Amino acid sequence: MIFGVGVDLVKIPRVKEVITQWGDRFKNRVFSQGEITYCERSVRSEERYASHFAVKEAFLKALGTGWGRGIGIRDIEVRRNEAGKPSVLLHRKAKKMADEIGITNVHTSISHDGEYAVAVVVLEK
């Protein structure tokens, strides 16, 4: 059964601007070391950072909580399999809430084109 669907759109130049201004401080506050490593392997790393940020926001929308329920942004981690398919790994408060609700699967899709990155997250119960 579908529990929730979330979509988020992120402007890539805005993420690039934040990274230019705050650098590692921003990256380490928002992304796991695995996410940073993955994003930095690309010449256009800002696209990857923007798409990962969009997944985090879309997850919270699908969960129906927003940022107000104590879930940290690093509690939501984007991973990729060998073929590049994205998945979401939950930690700490995000994992606890998903377990309490009975979320059994988190599906995600990411795309980017031009100035925008978009992510969709579907939570299954």
Which residues participate in catalysis according to the annotation?
61, 112
Contact 122, 62 (CB under 8 A): yes
Question: For residues 17 and 2, what is the distance between their CA atoms, to the nearest angstrom?
Answer: 36
Which structure tokens are listed for 76? 């939501």
